[in-house]
Amino acid sequence: MIDKSLERINTKSISLRSEKKAIPVYFSTNISKIKKKLTSANYNFLKALGFNSIYGNWAVLSDTNGQISAVIVGLKKIKKNYSKFFIGSILSKLPKGTYFLKNIPKTENINLLALGFFLSFYSFKDFDKKIKHGKNTARPILSLPNFPNLDKTLYLAESEFIVRDLINLPANILNPDYFEIYVKKFSNFHNIKLKVVFGNDLKKNFPLIHEVGKASSKKPRFLELTHKGSSKSFNITLIGKGVCFDSGGLNLKSSSGMLNMKKDMSGAASVLGLAHYLIRSNLKLNLRILIPCVENSVSGKSFRPGDILISRSGMGVEIKNTDAEGRLILADTLTYATEKNTDILVTFASLTGAARVAMGTDITPFFSTSNEFANLLKKCGDKMQDPVWQLPFYEDYNNELSSTITDLNNAPLGGMAGAITAALFLKKFTNNHKMFLHFDIYGWNTKSRPAKTYGGLMQGVRSLGAAIEEKIPTSY
């Protein structure tokens, strides 16, 4: 639940007070430059070690009583690109104690350092353990009395824990029933309104969501969260694909293709993470979070290739592939979303394998009807270590979505430009919205790296959150 995700952040890992007994941490590009800050014994020890101050190398020094007296962290770069989370990750590995960062240079982003420090403690293994704030005494504490915007950094860490926990939960736990319970907890935590649509009401009002999810014993549903800022607030609608498990339907995936399909709800997890950050930051926003929640299963009730399904918008969709189900549930959700005014309309979805082929696992492709906002988003992604890249709504590819028997098909057979044709499919249900953004995320980290453990990963959220914060005060 959300409370478990948040309680594991351990906010007391950073202190805003100036701790008199804190152990100093010195950053070095050459140990001769910090010689005066060290005892002669410690300096000579570093020389004997051959400490070369290479970026990320570190050494713990002791006093004559065997107690830690200082820590040296190398910052000499021998290549151009280093993870901005690297130093924070290193500091998280320090022995128990309170540490004061003495001479951190301006080239190191203190906010990303702290975020890397927080995120390095993440482990899904302790999801069900009762870890209370301040009780985990094995962790180091950073003393940062002049820390700017600690609250925002903490909220980003909280969002990441929420997103990672949800993606990492196996599908036998995180099914549509559990997801609804989780979202209820989320709404209670933030004191926001929740509406749930299921059963005959879902079949009548969201027919595509019903069709995709009807084969599962865990019934499909539509979840709507509403956060009201004020009548004059900026309106944002966040839509997340909530396929709790994707077998591929009758177009059954291979065993390897199905292995990580518990993560096919990473879009829904992402919009909850982003909403958490925006609400906690107390921005003047009206937020709607819309989650179509289903399992794409196989049974006698499964929708079939060749079926024609009528969407909420009235458009007919010819089913070419039941494994292209995400765009179907998002289509009905987008139609519903545009029936009310919204300034920004956003979808997050682990939608296509083509996006991975184009961008790999680290870079999140996105589509935007506003090039101005897309440029801002790209800059924010670079700043927040959350790389994103714009792909085009290339209108000529709309022909690939045509159908000889109804309005459009859900999966062009050619297999080319799959991420673009999927985005164009979604765009048809936006009522030509002037500020529509679609993120085709992966939501998964294939190997452990600084501040990123193997498994579920939040992507696109930090970049969009920062872009929203920059956009609202200047333009709305």
Which residues are tagged catalytic? 253, 327
Q: How far apart are CA 298 and CA 194, in angstroms?
A: 30
What one-character-per-residue DSSP string does 60-72 give? EEE-TTS-EEEEE
Tokens of 458: 């939040």
Q: How far apart are CA 476 and CA 366, in angstroms?
A: 23
* Among 432, 458, 468, residue whose Cα is nearest residue 286: 468
Contact 378, 359 (CB under 8 A): no
Tokens of 136: 């985990």
Interior/surface letters 120-131, b for 16+ CB within 10 angstroms, e for the rest = bbbebeebeeee
Q: What are phi and psi of 57, to 5 degrees?
A: -70, 145
Q: For 252-381, list the strands marked E by DSSP.
A: 285-296, 308-310, 316-318, 344-349, 364-368
Q: How far apart are CA 69 and CA 102, in angstroms?
A: 13
Strands 344-349 vs 234-240: parallel, antiparallel or unpaired: parallel
Give every CB contact of residue 290 below 8 A, 6+ residues apart in sequence: 222, 223, 224, 225, 237, 238, 239, 240, 333, 336, 337
Side chain identity at 435, as an amino acid letter? M
Q: How far apart are CA 405 and CA 25, in angstroms?
A: 69
Tokens of 274: 């982003």
Q: What are phi and psi of 122, to 5 degrees?
A: -65, 135
Strands 97-101 vs 140-143: parallel, antiparallel or unpaired: parallel
Tokens of 412: 């062009």
Q: How far apart are CA 364 and CA 2, in angstroms?
A: 25
Give every CB contact of residue 256 below 8 A, 6+ residues apart in sequence: none
44 membership: H or E segment, kind and range: helix 40-49
How many helices (H) does the chain have, and how many strands (E)?
15, 20
Give every CB contact of residue 13 below 8 A, 6+ residues apart in sequence: 117, 118, 121, 139, 140, 141, 142
Q: What are phi and psi of 193, to 5 degrees?
A: -80, 140
